[in-house]
Amino acid sequence: MAVKRILVLLLLIILMFRGLLLVNSDSGQKEVFHDTYTKALCSGTTCRDFEIKCLGDEFLEMKPISGFVTFGDDWVDLREEKELC
């Protein structure tokens, strides 16, 4: 029984941080939390990590969270190109 309660509590915490809707007490309107994630953006063999914020499919903000990293000339970026949001 205690394990079941812990699992339900963990699920609720995860859903809360994934962007559930909250009612704004001032206006009564719903606000959607934005999604935030990190992504390394590269140009040639030089990359830098960024924090990216989106609201659904809409790009909001991007800020660097690391310095530049340069890989050797034989480095190949195997990631598939994807939209930021």
Query: Rounded distance, CA 76 to CA 80, Å?
Result: 12
Find out whether 7 and 13 touch, Cβ atoms under 8 Å. Answer: no
Specify burial of residue 48 (Cβ count, 10 A radius: 0-12, 13-18, 19+).
middle
- Which DSSP letter does residue 66 get? S
Convert the pLDDT of each residue in 14-60 to its tens digit.
545 454 444 444 556 656 667 999 999 999 999 999 999 999 889 99
CA distance 85 to 55: 8
Query: Which ranges of the chain would DSSP assign to H, the alpha helix?
Result: 2-17
pTM of the model: 0.57
